[in-house]
Amino acid sequence: MKGFSAIALSLLPEMKSLRKPIHLALSYDEEIGCLGAPRLIDQIKERIPKPEAVIVGEPSMMEAVTAHKGIGAFRTVVTGYEAHSSQTHRGVSAVMNAAKLINWLSEREARFRDATPTNNGFLPHHTTVHSGVVHGGTALNIISRQCEFLWDVRVIPGENALSVFEEFQAFCQEVILPKMQAVHQDADIQTTILADTPPLQEVADSPALKLAQDLAGNTVRSRVAYAAEAGQFQEAGFPTVICGPGSIDQAHQPNEFISIDQMEQGEQFLRKLIHRLS
């Protein structure tokens, strides 16, 4: 997305002769749950005419993306009861109970994998469930009082991350927490919703799709597993497509990069748009 934004900003001097405006919609906190786009979208709806198309410049190798997964992000805090690790009958291990919950998340993903048709265009083809951060405990010989973990659910269109959250809550309240509180009444499990971002749904006759394909000079369309703000723009009623330089394969890694060829293709794409609207 940074490459697409850089190209657009570099071409601002060439937009002086536009007959129809190009609005650059730059948000914030996209990486931690697409938190900034809703406020931006509200301002767009209030201040300018409805856009004919929204092009989200996430990395797609300059090919139109018609669908992406949504994402729900969550923080779970498990509170146990401290005791010496030789007295496991007296303590409630936050770490070990958190491990049971993380294992439930893994098993829930496996059920999605087994139940979802493989030919839906997504890779992986199913809704995924993942925990990426865990913190807990203070010492080897102390039964841990607290453990916190972050997890996300990336849903294919038609599924809902909050339904997984509700299943998770039921497992906590009905299976894990009663056993914890049987040892100590102060044991607890609390989960906070950090983000809930909708998927981008494919619309076959979308004017945004046709525009992106015309500008890119190809008719390729695909679906992607990452979440983006495109679903939020679509949910607001705007025809939306993803098309931008670079590949998600290089994202979130050491030595992240974008090729010069992709930047050049992105520049040609936006120059065609400027010419069309001038």
The confidence band for 33, taking pLDDT boundaries of 50, 70 and 90, is low
Helices (H) and strands (E) in the chain, counts: 8, 8
- Check residues 155 and 253 and name the one with the higher pLDDT: 155
Q: Tell me, what DSSP letter sits at residue 15?
A: G
Per-residue pLDDT of 232-243, as tens digits, reads 999 999 999 999
Question: How many residues are listed for the chain in this entry?
Answer: 278
Residues 58, 89: one domain? Answer: no
Q: Region 227-251: what's the mean pLDDT?
A: 91
Note the pLDDT tens digit of each residue in 91-110.
999 999 999 999 999 999 99
Return the pLDDT at 227: 86
Domain check: are 89 and 180 in the same one?
A: yes
Query: Average pLDDT in the 72-80 region?
Result: 97
How many structural domains comprise the chain? 2
Residues 110 and 181 in one domain: yes
Averaged over 53-58, what is the pLDDT?
Answer: 94
Question: 211 and 132: one domain?
Answer: no
Q: Are residues 45 and 89 in the same domain?
A: no
pLDDT, tens digit, 9 for 90 and up, residues 177-196:
999 999 999 999 999 999 99
Residue 193 has what pLDDT? Answer: 97
pLDDT of 257 above 80: yes
3 state DSSP class of 182: helix
pLDDT of residue 36: 74
Tell me, yes or no, whether 193 and 88 share the same domain. Answer: yes
For residue 33, what is the domain's CATH number?
Answer: 3.40.630.10
C-alpha–C-alpha distance, residues 173 and 177, integer Å: 5
pLDDT grade for 34, boundaries at 50, 70 and 90: confident
Among 162, 197, 232, residue at a domain's last position: 197
Q: Are 245 and 266 in contact (CB under 8 A)?
A: yes
Number of C-beta neighbours around residue 154 at 10 A:
25
Q: Mean pLDDT of all residues in the chain?
A: 94
Asked if 125 and 178 sit in the same domain, the reply is yes
Residue after which a domain boundary falls, among 171, 197, 223: 197
80 and 61, same structural domain?
no
**HSE of 207, CA atoms in CB hemisphere, 13 A:** 7
Reported as a pLDDT band with limits 50, 70 and 90, residue 269 is very high
How high is the pLDDT of residue 57?
93
* DSSP H or E stretch at residue 93: none
Contacts of 264 (CB under 8 A, 6+ apart): none
Residue listed under structure tokens 């497509």: 241
Q: Is the pLDDT of residue 252 over 80?
A: no
Give which of 171, 73, 70, 193 is closest to 131, Cα–Cα. 73
Q: Which helix (H) or strand (E) holds 275?
A: helix 260-277
Query: Do residues 175 and 189 both lie within one domain?
Result: yes
Q: State the Cα angle at 258 between 207 and 36, rounded to 5°.
A: 55
Residue 153's CB: how many other CB atoms inside 10 A?
A: 27
H/E run at residue 2? helix 2-10
Band the pLDDT of 24: cuts 50, 70, 90. very high
Q: Which domain holds residue 55?
A: 2-68+202-277
Note whether 184 and 75 are same-domain residues: yes
Tokens of 225: 């597993």
Whether 59 and 248 have beta carbons less than 8 Å apart is answered as yes
Largest CA distance in the chain: 77
CATH of the domain at 162: 3.30.70.360
Residue 242 CA to residue 200 CA, distance in Å, equals 9
b/e map 8-41, b = 16+ CB within 10 Å = beeeeeebeeeeeeeeebebeebeebbbbbeebb
182 and 78 housed in the same domain: yes
Residue 213 sits in the same domain as residue 176: no
**Domain final residue pick, 197, 221, 240:** 197
Sign of CA dihedral 201, 203, 209, 213: positive
Cis peptide before 124, with omega less than 30 degrees from 0? yes
